Amino acid sequence: MGIVLIWSLVVFLTRWISQKRRGAISYDSEDQTALYIRMLDVRVRSQLGFEQERRGSHPYLYVDFRILHSRPESAGPVSARNVRRLLSFQRYLNSSQFLRGIPASDPLSYILDDDYTGQAKLMLEKVGNWNFDIFLFDRLTNGNSLVNLTFHLFNSYGLIELFQLDMVKLRRFLVMIQEDYRSQNPYHNAVHAADVTQAMYCYLQEPKLAQTLTSCDLLLGLLAAATHDLDHPGVNQPFLIKTDHYLAALYKNSSVLENHHWKSAVGLLRESALLSHLPTEDRLSLEERLGSLILATDISRQNDYLSEFRSHLDKEDLCLTNGGHRHFILQMALKCADICNPCRPWKLCQQWSEKVTEEFFHQGDIERKHNLEVTPLCDRQSNSIANIQIGFMSYVVEPLFLEWSRFSDTRLSQTMLGHLSLNKQGWKEGRDKPDATNSRASEEQRTSVAKDSNSRVLPQGSKGS
């Protein structure tokens, strides 16, 4: 979720959650507009004390603020990237075992590594399964899920040969991408990127797409998925705006994060020289298309994309031999991949929900601590995981996936909608009756249904046909 909190969503959910909590109170549309404007107009009430207070905080906050408020003299992302690279470089040193391919010195852990390697390989054989457990895969690859998965997909699509990619450059490029995600973020980290890449792969394999996409589309789709949240600071755009962050100024308060993800990706593409053998025009056009895909993940523009999608589907005028239409479908696929957590089996859905809520609430804590207006969805005192999830599912995820399944009416789409509805039910039950025995019974029910739908999707997803 590039930026997960769109204003309209915030307004919607605030209203909805307040109704849930207070029962009778409801906003009329004037109140809603006022609330909207007030939120757009949040002012920093006190920025004093940032300097001292941030020292004693959670390590992830500390790192965030150091980078967030390092105002580069050259006013560009370049020197900010150097600060980041320094941190990334430390991470690189700490995980250099992976890069240099040196086995651990302890013979026992070497054997263990071997075993893990075997299991990771086995998992990759089923990389097209919708119930692929990216958390497990990340553990088995020692935190290298993004590099490993993306490399595997490039390889299995034959993109390395087709585009004459240098394997060493590709690996280095992917490592840089992975390192530029902030592992301190509970949600917006490299595992989320790997998860989105895996989901994107499942969509690319859907018959309508598989039959029409060119290898250039495939390359872009995977690249965009892997880089779509690059260097995400773990706070949302309104936060960057109200704390006068330089990125907000740089991108004029508009798709601030998505622009930054895109520019960071282009920076790494150039730095790694991965595509330096291609003609300049091709390179530039790839970079542009990459940007257009990443910018589509800006949730605040969700309705524009959704209504365009809907209107195409109503008119039945999508023609995938048309490059523009294929690009549009890639945008929609990436949008789906980005917010598909609630369409995964309950166990995965639940883990993602906890992580994203932790990140939201963490932002809310920072806001409260510094006397900034607390973003409604980020306020741990007035929200619960269940309420946030139910609202997000109902107003953002469901409408998108309903259209997607109109476009691609397959088993996978049915499976995703099935999980979505079960998971929503799951959150509702958890919210309404926190009684353990009740929720355990329904948990079993859910799991068995989920298993059914998984096994149905297996044959379809398992082979790159």
Q: Is 371 marked within a binding site? A: no
Catalytic residue from among 188, 260, 261, 362:
188
Element of type H or E holding 371: none
With respect to ligand NAG, which residue has the nearer C-beta, 103 or 207? 103
Per DSSP, 378 falls in state G
Task: Give the orientation angle of helix 215-227 with respect to helix 145-156, to 10 degrees.
Answer: 180
Beta-bridge mates of residue 201: none
> Minimum CB separation from ligand NAG for residue 91, in Å?
5
If contact means CB under 5 to 8 A according to the sort of partner, which of ligand NAG, Zn ion, none does residue 235 touch? none
- State the binding string over 227-256 for ligand NAG (x if CB under 6 A, else -): --------------x------x---xx---
If contact means CB under 5 to 8 A according to the sort of partner, which of Zn ion, ligand NAG, none does residue 94 touch? ligand NAG
**What 3-state class would DSSP assign to 236?**
coil
Question: Considering only residues 102-121, where is the footprint of ligand NAG by CB under 6 A?
Answer: 117, 120-121
Stretch that binds Zn ion, among 151-159, 226-234, 311-319, 347-355 (CB under 5 A): 226-234
429 counts as binding Zn ion under rule CB under 5 A: no
If contact means CB under 5 to 8 A according to the sort of partner, which of Zn ion, ligand NAG, none does residue 338 touch? Zn ion
What distances in angstroms separate CA 229 from CA 177, 208, 221, 258, 339, one per listed residue? 10, 27, 14, 7, 12
> Minimum CB separation from ligand NAG for residue 464, in Å?
17
63 counts as binding ligand NAG under rule CB under 6 A: no
Q: Give CA–CA dist 48/368, Å, rounded.
A: 14
If contact means CB under 5 to 8 A according to the sort of partner, which of ligand NAG, Zn ion, none does residue 117 touch? ligand NAG
97 counts as binding ligand NAG under rule CB under 6 A: no
1 counts as binding Zn ion under rule CB under 5 A: yes
Measured distance between the N- and C-terminal CA atoms of the chain, rounded to whole angstroms? 29
Q: For 318, what's the count of Cα atoms within 13 Å in the CB-facing half-sphere? A: 22
> Minimum CB separation from ligand NAG for residue 194, in Å?
12
If contact means CB under 5 to 8 A according to the sort of partner, which of ligand NAG, Zn ion, none does residue 423 touch? none
With respect to ligand NAG, which residue has the nearer C-beta, 95 or 439? 95
Q: Give CA–CA dist 229/225, Å, rounded.
A: 8
With respect to ligand NAG, which residue has the nearer C-beta, 139 or 347? 139
Element of type H or E holding 308: helix 302-315
- State the binding string over 120-159 for ligand NAG (x if CB under 6 A, else -): xx-------------------x-----xx--x--------
Query: Which tokens sit at 138?
Result: 């990340």
If contact means CB under 5 to 8 A according to the sort of partner, which of Zn ion, ligand NAG, none does residue 90 touch? ligand NAG
457 counts as binding ligand NAG under rule CB under 6 A: no
Q: Give CA–CA dist 387/393, Å, rounded.
A: 10
Element of type H or E holding 142: none
181 counts as binding ligand NAG under rule CB under 6 A: no
Nearest to 225 by CA among 337, 148, 145: 337
With respect to ligand NAG, which residue has the nearer C-beta, 118 or 207? 118
71 counts as binding ligand NAG under rule CB under 6 A: no
Q: Give CA–CA dist 419/11, Å, rounded.
A: 26
Q: Is 317 marked within a binding site? A: no
Q: Is 248 marked within a binding site? A: no
Binding-site member from 85, 91, 368, 370 for ligand NAG (CB under 6 A): 91
138 counts as binding Zn ion under rule CB under 5 A: no
Per DSSP, 279 falls in state -
Q: Where are the alpha helices (DSSP H) in 164-300?
A: 167-180, 190-204, 207-210, 215-227, 237-242, 246-250, 256-272, 280-295
Nearest to 232 by CA among 338, 99, 306, 127: 338
In this structure, how many other beta carbons lie within 10 angstroms of the beta carbon of residue 373?
Answer: 16
Question: Considering only residues 285-304, where is the footprint of ligand NAG by CB under 6 A?
Answer: none
Q: Is 389 marked within a binding site? A: yes
Q: For 388, what's the count of Cα atoms within 13 Å in the CB-facing half-sphere? A: 24
Residues touching ligand NAG: how many (CB under 6 A)? 14
Binding-site member from 64, 138, 217, 229 for Zn ion (CB under 5 A): 229
Nearest to 205 by CA among 413, 62, 431, 41: 413
Query: Which tokens sit at 252?
Result: 């004029």
Q: Give CA–CA dist 5/378, Å, rounded.
A: 9
Residues touching Zn ion: how many (CB under 5 A)? 3
188 in active site: yes
Beta-bridge mates of residue 298: 3
| Residues making contact with ligand NAG (CB under 6 A) | 90-91, 94, 117, 120-121, 141, 147-148, 151, 241, 248, 252-253
Annotated binding site for Zn(2+): 192, 228-229, 338
Active site residue ranges: 188
Annotated binding site: 188-192, 228-229, 338, 389
| Residues making contact with Zn ion (CB under 5 A) | 1, 229, 338
